[in-house]
Chains A and B, each alone.
Chain A
Amino acid sequence: MTNPPSADTIVLQVDGLHVSYGEFHAVSNVSFDVRAGEIFGLLGPNGAGKTSTLSAVEGLLRPQSGKIVVAGYDVQKNPLHARANLGVQLQATNFQPELSVAEILQLYAGIHGVSLTREKLQNILASIKLEDAAKKRFGQLSGGQQQRVSLIIAMIHNPQLVLLDEPTTGLDPQSRRQLWERMESLRDNNHGILLTTHSMEEAEAVCDRIAIIDHGKIIAIDTPQVLIDKHHDNPEVISVSRKGKITLEDVFIGLTGRTVRS
């Protein structure tokens, strides 16, 4: 467990990342950084290289080349130190279905070396409005409740960097807004957040900066508003605009194309 860093400290540095699967180059020369107190969005169509990039940051795959540093620790050289500073919320629910919410929290507290008393456990559950869910199995919770539990587990060791992989997929508007507020609260406490999402509305609403990745390469990186301003005269962007006013989604489709990816 570590203390949150001061604002603007770089908590994730990705430099010249290359990931290949045989002849296929999933990620080519990708570089970006995430600072403390920042929500950084990684956007891209299906198969653009987002998941490969995230997997490399998580240390789940070994890149062909490039450097990834989490909270000052090289992911390849000091994987345990890097992961100790990393909180992860994956897309799917990845907990043993036999365990209750309290047991899952105790498991992840234990493997992060965090002491979790009964009182502390109740406080954690109360903080996500799930006081009565301690004995429920994870699968018995609603989608929104599951996401809240997943996020609190990702944060149980107070990591400097949080990876959120499409966290609002399938949530109703209320749950989505609530999750946005939690993300913003984490940002306010100087955690760095790397968010992947297919919702341009979400990216525009919560992200401080955005990188658009396509065919394994970053094709644009900046704040949402600067990206819109920079590309609002682009004919491709104008041609896909539906409401007269250029949105981030127009910029995204203008830059990555209309073709549906598999």
Chain B
Amino acid sequence: MSTTVIPSNRSVLTALLRADFITQWRNRKSVILILLIPVIILISWKGLVDKLGGAFVLSNCIAIGLNAIGLMGYSNTIARDRDKGIFQRLRVAPLTAWSIMVSRLTVQLAMILLVTTAVFVAGIYADNIKLSATGYALGFAMAFVGGAVYLALGQAIVGLIKNPETVNAVTRLVYFIFIMVGMFAELGALPPNITSVVKWSPYGTVKHILSTGMQPATWNQHSTIALLATIAYTIFFAAVGIKWFRWSTK
């Protein structure tokens, strides 16, 4: 047996991250779209800031951005690359499956950071919404926790559905339902029983932890339960997504 040197994790991850970030950069039109939607909503809701509060508006806009990242961006990219055999080509190289996913998820974490920053900056300049330093720090932390639930949901969808066109259609539908039902419920436009369901849905819990995270003084027992529910959703969707995920559509 000859002596074979296995490439280091660092070398593998550097190469994967470089390629995945370039891919994301070349898809910058969709990145801009993901950034623009929450920022435009934020600017258009300027009149609601005094009535509903800055944290309420910011949290809704960030939740919309996080939804788009997990459901529209991540899941569709995974579904496409799986269908084209890109994962299979990578998997015949001497690297572990987790390194492929770590690289993909790192790009999405960068997207979460970008969207959250864009909303905070737009909030300052467009709506004059300013938070405390702790509010911003917790806002970012809750954005990562909230982003994880939508990434896990996206993973569950690509785990359960193989066809990329169907994945695209289902993620759009789920995105639309979350955004429309979530926003109407938040604005009190839905019956109380539906509002209660929405409150404890992945949209409602994420929106709540974002909102109270940005105003640490308002953090209460409901916030802690919402945080635990968000983590539980993430674990559940990730478990489904990992268990049923196949690297190839064939």
Is A149 part of the binding interface, using a Cβ–Cβ cutoff of 8 Å? no
Partner among B27, B88, B94 whose Cβ is within 8 Å of the Cβ of A83: B94
Is B217 part of the binding interface, using a Cβ–Cβ cutoff of 8 Å? no
For chains A and B in complex, what number of residue pairs have CB atoms within 8 angstroms?
109
Is B85 part of the binding interface, using a Cβ–Cβ cutoff of 8 Å? yes
Q: Write the nearest CB–CB distance from B156 to chain A, whole angstroms.
A: 23
User: Interface size class for chain A?
Assistant: 35 or more
Query: Which residues of B (25-69) have their CB < 8 Å from a CB of A?
Result: 26-27
Query: Which residues of B (61-90) have their CB < 8 Å from a CB of A?
Result: 81, 84-86, 88-90
**What B residues does A160 contact at CB under 8 A?**
2
Is B166 part of the binding interface, using a Cβ–Cβ cutoff of 8 Å? no
Count B interface residues, CB 8 Å: 34
Alpha-carbon gap, A108 to B93, bound state (A): 8
Alpha-carbon gap, A60 to B92, bound state (A): 7
Partner among B7, B86, B247 whose Cβ is within 8 Å of the Cβ of A111: B7
Is A141 part of the binding interface, using a Cβ–Cβ cutoff of 8 Å? no
Alpha-carbon gap, A98 to B23, bound state (A): 6
- Look across to chain A and name the residue whose beta carbon is closest to the beta carbon of B84: A94
**Cβ-defined contact, B22 with A98, below 8 A:** yes
Is B181 part of the binding interface, using a Cβ–Cβ cutoff of 8 Å? no
**Cβ-defined contact, B81 with A96, below 8 A:** yes
* Dominant SS among interface residues on chain A: loop
Contact A110 to B84, CB < 8 A, known contacts A80-B94, A80-B96: no
**Cβ-defined contact, A106 with B15, below 8 A:** yes
Is B243 part of the binding interface, using a Cβ–Cβ cutoff of 8 Å? no
**What B residues does A109 contact at CB under 8 A?**
15
A-B contact pairs, 21 of them (CB 8 A): A2-B4, A5-B2, A58-B92, A60-B88, A73-B1, A81-B4, A81-B6, A85-B2, A85-B4, A90-B85, A99-B19, A99-B22, A106-B19, A107-B15, A108-B93, A110-B11, A110-B14, A111-B16, A111-B93, A112-B7, A113-B8
